[in-house]
Structure 1
């Protein structure tokens, strides 16, 4: 047959051919392909014959068997076919009836699943273990009770099968039985043996107690509790899968790793979720297990969970954990903002405070400047009498000051406060009488700041320098000055 490059080179030529020519060309290529295949088959058979000839000449025997099965597989296969004669030959040849496959399943297990009563009787008479356990702790009685095979259950009970055997899921044979007659048989047998609820609970706690004892021995020996065991699983994986709360709590107390992974990349939380151990799920998450941890195939604990109750619990815990993380993130961002602005926050407050105080001083002195600007001739008579009365009272009755308050600046401040009050009274009276404010060379609105550099009030006459009451500084900082009459108000 033509090579691939040759076929590619022919493509332009084939495209220019007519339909009949293309058919003839295809038939020619197919004939070449069949011829080359026949030749290759002939060469292959010739090489095979040359390899087998020396072996036949030396051994003088026919072809020998190339596939051999171990006795356990052969016995299980014969029991699954319910071949009593072949199983009898195996047993008589010395094959043990307790041989099991890689999952721990024995021939007696298989008979109890398939309801082969005669085969089970033959295996038991040959010495089969009636309480043999597979890799998940199932006994033949578990299998017979689950399938509802009443006669096999009666047979196993007559052979002293353990009625309190607990599998890895924590179930006894009667827990798995749904057939009414079979369940009644199991409960009757339990009552006849004197089994009570306390003994049932004790039997359920035996596996965890055994693991606790083993764990105490490891702690005394100083072993690392996070070392991987079979399939890379740690002790915490085993406790999580089996629902051993006390063992898991002890392991976590001793610092067992929550992020340890087995060969499949599963963490202990994966095992608890897969096996439906809701209490272990809560315990592991409470100690910080990662709900978003992924296995080698990117599966989270929620992905491998098949139990609806456990799935609902995982979703609830995930929502709570996400909300907590968001709240912590907001707190951290707020803390960072506070930390970044802490250096300038105090300065900003102090600048605002100083500015505010300066504005207050400006307003007060602006109002005082208005008092000095107004003339008594333009003021209404009632207001003039009131102001003169107030001034006369001040002259006749000077304020009594304590020694601490007898300083000149504070006395001046009180004097300014008096004139400010008088001005406010004058403004209220003018508003009531609907009279316009007195006009002067330059009018100031009360409450507005006065610029000392650009504006100065026009008082009937001036003294050298700025009047003391027009200086826009704090009163406490002014030096005591001698009062001079201004604008005929004093």
Structure 2
């Protein structure tokens, strides 16, 4: 069989040859491979037959490697198989009965879980510790009471098991027992030993008092109480998980932070909610712990709570906390400035003096008056265009309004007009009246311009569709020389034959204009 280098060289050569030759070369190599495998298999079978013959005759010693286990593993494995003979053999060979695995579990723990009474007696008779604790401080009596093994509980109590042993969750054996006969045995044993409720409370508080003492020493030394351990937990995590309210309060007063997270993203409130520590959870919430904080798995403290009653209590705490936060936000925003109703102008005037405000108002009124006058001029242009269109549509023989009011002259905001006969020329009055000699008042505000416009409308109001106002009647068409004025001489009327009345044009007086230059064009 060719080696690897030869195969590579041959492969490079085969890339240049046709496919048919490459196929033949592959078949040749496959045939060689099968022959070599057949030879190898034949040799192996011969070796096996020779080995069997030697083993049968006892000429060949067994050179196989032996697998050995630690004594703790062997003892635990034998006790879990309920093999009394092997357990006795191991114990007689000086194997310690209290050997444990990585979780701190001993053979006595395992036998109490599996309910092997004979194995428990063997272990206890060979010196096994009846109050051995695993990593979570569980004793064999905890395991037997939890599983409800009545016979094992009796055996352990007879060998002096500690009835007040507290595990890492703060539970004693009778706290974990749900089997009534087993619970009766434990409570009877507690009564026989004179255990009272005060002793139980004192025993439960031993661990917390020890932790409180350690916290006091840390605070006095100025140590960091928010330091993480190997699993990322802080002292507040431990106090919350164990329900140590006094230790948690001391830590919070000493500056412990409620938002610290361990390696799994748990806050102290997550630990308190998971282990059902109601008082510690209330304490943490009162110090600002968030019920909406999530772990790396997107779990809130309420999601980790398994007790339905405790879950409802946490929901109530969350509801109260939300109400308090909303009320605080509402209190912060209750003192608001009133928005000015006058807009930006009011804000500017509020910062100006009295004279500046007066001048500012005058300028604004003048600007508004100019805008308003521009609108009036556009309306007058539209009216003129409409009048010219209406006149162009009349026949050539239609009489024109020749002997009527030619133009209204503004005199202090009023219109002065006199009647005229048809065909008479219109001559201006050379002598101005007393009213004309008075100096004109310049229009300064929009209100004055609006008053002038209202006065002009009142003067033109009687001229509507050729009808006379003030109770007068239309002049007869037979009397064309009838004065086209009312009885009081102040209003001009038009006959139907005269056509549409001319528009009255009002002009804004120019500032600084000489009053003597004004003249009145009247119809005489």
- Same fold, TM-score > 0.5, yes or no: yes
Residue 108 of structure 1, CA deviation: 0.7
For residues 153-206 of structure 1, give each alpha carbon's deviation from its aligned partner in whole angstroms, at most 9, with x where no partner exists: 121111111111112222211222233322222122111111111111111111
Relative to 1, partners in 2 of residues 1:68 and 1:241: Cα closer, same or farther, differing over 3 Å?
Answer: farther
Query: Is the partner of 1:338 in helix, strand or coil?
Result: coil
Structure 2 match to 1:76: 76
For residues 272-299 of structure 1, give each alpha carbon's deviation from its aligned partner in whole angstroms, at most 9, with x where no partner exists: 1111111111111111112222222222
Structure 2 match to 1:254: 254
Residue 325 of structure 1, CA deviation: 3.9
Matches within 5 A, 1:39-438: 62-65=63-66, 68-329=68-329, 338=337, 347=347
Which sits farther off after the overlay, 93-102 or 265-274?
Answer: 93-102
Residue 106 of structure 1, CA deviation: 1.2
Relative to 1, partners in 2 of residues 1:311 and 1:93: Cα closer, same or farther, differing over 3 Å?
Answer: same
Please identify the structure whose Cα radius of gyration is greater.
Answer: 2
Residue 114 of structure 1, CA deviation: 1.3
Residue 212 of structure 1, CA deviation: 1.1
> 1: CA distance between counterparts of 2:211 and 2:77?
35
> 1: CA distance between counterparts of 2:226 and 2:191?
43
Query: Is the partner of 1:231 in helix, strand or coil?
Result: coil
> 1: CA distance between counterparts of 2:105 and 2:175?
21
Relative to 1, partners in 2 of residues 1:170 and 1:61: Cα closer, same or farther, differing over 3 Å?
Answer: same
Relative to 1, partners in 2 of residues 1:41 and 1:224: Cα closer, same or farther, differing over 3 Å?
Answer: farther
Residue 310 of structure 1, CA deviation: 2.4
Gaps of 5+ in 1: 1-31, 47-59, 359-448, 458-490
Aligned CA RMSD, in angstroms, stands at 4.2
Aligned length, in residue pairs: 321
> 2: CA distance between counterparts of 1:178 and 1:329?
49
Query: Is the partner of 1:232 in helix, strand or coil?
Result: coil
For residues 56-106 of structure 1, give each alpha carbon's deviation from its aligned partner in whole angstroms, at most 9, with x where no partner exists: xxxx963424x6543323221211111111112222222221122222221
Q: TM-score, normalised by structure 2?
A: 0.53
> 1: CA distance between counterparts of 2:38 and 2:250?
69
> 1: CA distance between counterparts of 2:340 and 2:40?
89
Return the structure number with greater helix share: 1
Structure 1 match to 2:487: none
Structure 2 match to 1:6: none
Query: Is the partner of 2:294 in helix, strand or coil?
Result: coil
Residue 314 of structure 1, CA deviation: 2.3
Whether the 8 Å contact between 2:340 and 2:346 is mirrored in structure 1 is no
Whether the 8 Å contact between 2:239 and 2:247 is mirrored in structure 1 is yes
Matches within 5 A, 1:444-463: none
> 2: CA distance between counterparts of 1:75 and 1:197?
39
For residues 433-457 of structure 1, give each alpha carbon's deviation from its aligned partner in whole angstroms, at most 9, with x where no partner exists: xxxxxxxxxxxxxxxx995677699
Which sits farther off after the overlay, 314-323 or 271-280?
Answer: 314-323
Structure 2 match to 1:367: none
Query: Is the partner of 1:283 in helix, strand or coil?
Result: helix
Query: Is the partner of 1:233 in helix, strand or coil?
Result: coil
Residue 300 of structure 1, CA deviation: 2.1
Residue 226 of structure 1, CA deviation: 1.0
Whether the 8 Å contact between 2:340 and 2:347 is mirrored in structure 1 is no
Relative to 1, partners in 2 of residues 1:349 and 1:311: Cα closer, same or farther, differing over 3 Å?
Answer: farther
Relative to 1, partners in 2 of residues 1:121 and 1:324: Cα closer, same or farther, differing over 3 Å?
Answer: same
Relative to 1, partners in 2 of residues 1:340 and 1:317: Cα closer, same or farther, differing over 3 Å?
Answer: farther
Q: TM-score, normalised by structure 1?
A: 0.57
